[in-house]
Homo-oligomer: A and B are copies of this chain.
Amino acid sequence: MTAEEIAKMLRQVRRGTLSVEGAVERLRTLPYEDLGYAKIDHHRSLRQGFPEVIFARCMLAHRHNILVTRGDEALFERIRSLDRRAEYHRLSGAIVIRRERKIRGKGKIVVVCAGTSDIPVAEEALVTAETMGNRVQSLHDVGVAGIHRLLGESQHLRDARVIICVAGMEGALPSVVGGLVGVPVIAVPTSVGYGASFRGLAALLGMLNSCSPNVCVVNIDNGFGAGYLASVINRL
């Protein structure tokens, strides 16, 4: 099934000459991954073959927003040719199609990050949370080596209902932030660093051993997971 056939099929669905059920049936024989709202598989060899198929499925199956993580410019162009609403977030590679902008989360999700190198992962978390219907705010460049700068932002921290803390290297930020607030802190270690950071292992272990008991951890560089979980908590 070529890109042209898919595009044609989608137009039929839009015109109503093909039912959604019929279209879904046609697409069914190919592998896909169904993560609810969001994240589309970025396995390279598969994606390069079938982006339109996956995209078509998402468009048909969901009425809501679509999020593709860790895409690149080329993938973005192909997706935008299918839907002009697509936006590209360059640092994280997130591609988003926002069909609705209803706020579903009860409070604000604040994404804090330690250094400029951590921004791509923080952006992935931010875009995920926003796409899932939350008010979000980001605080950049508030690493623990300049503690007064972090304290200067503490009002913003206290305004949050959920906090996402993104940090590489020694991963110390969540412990400090966790001690300043009474809300859940989701720590995201990043693979930023070199040498004994061992691609994020140092930050991961640091966060798992945090002395602040309101801290939990997700996988290294998993901005998507942090944004998703923050959104789940914020809807409670």
On A, residues with C-beta under 8 Å from B are 31-36, 38-39, 41, 43, 45-46, 90-91, 106-107, 114-117, 119-120, 140-141, 143-147, 151, 161, 168-172, 175-176, 178-180, 182-184, 186, 189, 191-222, 224-225, 228-229, 232-233, 236
Contact = CB atoms under 8 A, between A and B. Distances in A.
Q: Could you say how many copies of this chain the assembly holds?
A: 8
A119 to B, nearest CB: 5
Contact of A170 (B147, B175, B193, B225): B175
Nearest to A168: B209
Given A170-B206, A211-B169, A229-B213, A195 B184 contact: no
B202 A196 contact: no
| A-B interface, 10 closest residue pairs, ranked by CB to CB distance from nearest | A195-B220, A172-B172, A202-B205, A145-B179, A216-B216, A170-B206, A43-B117, A213-B228, A196-B208, A169-B209
A205 B210 contact: no
B219 A172 contact: no
Given A144-B176, A176-B172, A184-B233, A195 B222 contact: yes
Contacts of A219: 194-197, 208-209
